[in-house]
Structure 1
Amino acid sequence: MLAEVHMHELNTTTIDGIGSFCLRSKKSSNGYISKNNWLNNRFEEGLKYIQLFEKEKQVGFIEYTESEFSSRVVYAENYLVIHCLWVSETGKGYGTKLINKCLEDAINRGKAGIAVVTNSETSWTPSKDIFFKNQFELVDTAPFHFELFAYPLKKSNLPTFPCNWEERIERFQVLTILRTFQCPYVDIATENVMAAAKTLGIDAKIIDFRNRDELMELSPTPYGIFSVIYKGQLISFHRLTIHSVMKRLRDIIN
């Protein structure tokens, strides 16, 4: 029952003890360590990382921040942007409870609303169903099945995506990985691409975004934190197996 559910907000003091939710079974992995370091560097910017517990069991979490610090490629002035929302079980109100926490925070900060990027082709983004359920509205779309949802709190410009996606992708001809460590799975996703490239004898380069300005200028998708491009074509914006990467690279070569 929800009466037994409580929230715990991570900060620079508690992160070492609790840590991020994703990949928590592999706390010695590079991805997990990079994610926790990334969080530590974001708390001062106002990022919120809130885990939901039922008794002592972790049953969900939400991560969100102000738009000017977000890892999503959206124009959303004075909005909070949800990066991640995950629950262990649907139908128990966990997702709504976490969204309501973000909504309460947005109201208290005087924000114009909340925005979130979804994509039905991957589990790396939150499901749009929970946002429909909580009265978010679809305000924009982008290639590769990306959708932008918003919950306006004030009369202001609604969030939007950039429009130059084709131009962004075409500028990369060599095999290129663009990334941040907002997601702990970016490390293994990168390793799989590099392993596939080595097998096929393809040179690859990695671009680590140093700030949001670079991300907003270069990212070829709204997701922002991970993209793989080869010969002006998007290979992926989420983790693939080595075999899947090799297949997609071969398809382009041939």
Structure 2
Amino acid sequence: MNLDTRESMIDTLGVLEIAALLRELTAGLIAVTDFDEALKRLVCVARDAVPEVDCCGFTALRAGEPAGVAASDPARAELDDLRHGPDMPALAAIRRREMIIAQDLDQESRWPGWTGRARGLGVHGVISAPVDVDEQVIGAINLYAESADALTTRHQLTAMLLAEHAGLLLAAVRDRERQAAQAGQLDSALLEEGVVGQAVGVIMTQRGCPAPEALDVLRSAASSLDIPLREVAERLLLTVSRPRDN
């Protein structure tokens, strides 16, 4: 096998690895409705799927909220946490909106406090890539290696593609999270609404189920009959209020 053929095979394997990573990441996040849960899945998928990466973290900045952190290795979570000091690769990537690379922390003079903690935790290389989620959330995904010089140009490409893909998936998670919250508010309003609330109470009594399940029963009936929810509730109350024949 000549050198050109070998390099071509290596490049092909790299593309396949990245494709598999993005596919697994999509499968893991496609139905998630909780942003923090999505971050946890993201860092675990990245750690397991990217060769030579020993742990992965995510630092998230959310407008009006404390910074969020997710780590595939809880013992190393402080490396992604801004509460341990803002002088760190993740924040540098977020501020500069560009990838930050440190292949050998023994030779690194940036972020001295953070670097000392990282080496103490067995980390000797890092790539931090900025992630744009939406107007309210930005962050950085951080890939860590225990061996110096283990992170190569292929890892930089992987980090870039991972950050772009993760941004899209996390934005979708945020949308689903907002929709779920709005649906919850709507449910609360419906349960407090006189006729619907009473009908839900009737179903709860008849079936011995909680209010959300009773409301789903009412919604299912409205969908099957193709009539408004309130009308279904009125019909149910009318039925149970009729005197039974002796």
> Which of the two has greater helix per residue?
2
Give 1 or 2 for the bigger CA radius of gyration.
2
Coarse TM-score class (shorter-chain normalised):
under 0.3
> Which of the two has greater strand per residue?
1
- Report the TM-score, using the length of structure 2 for normalisation: 0.24
- Report the TM-score, using the length of structure 1 for normalisation: 0.24
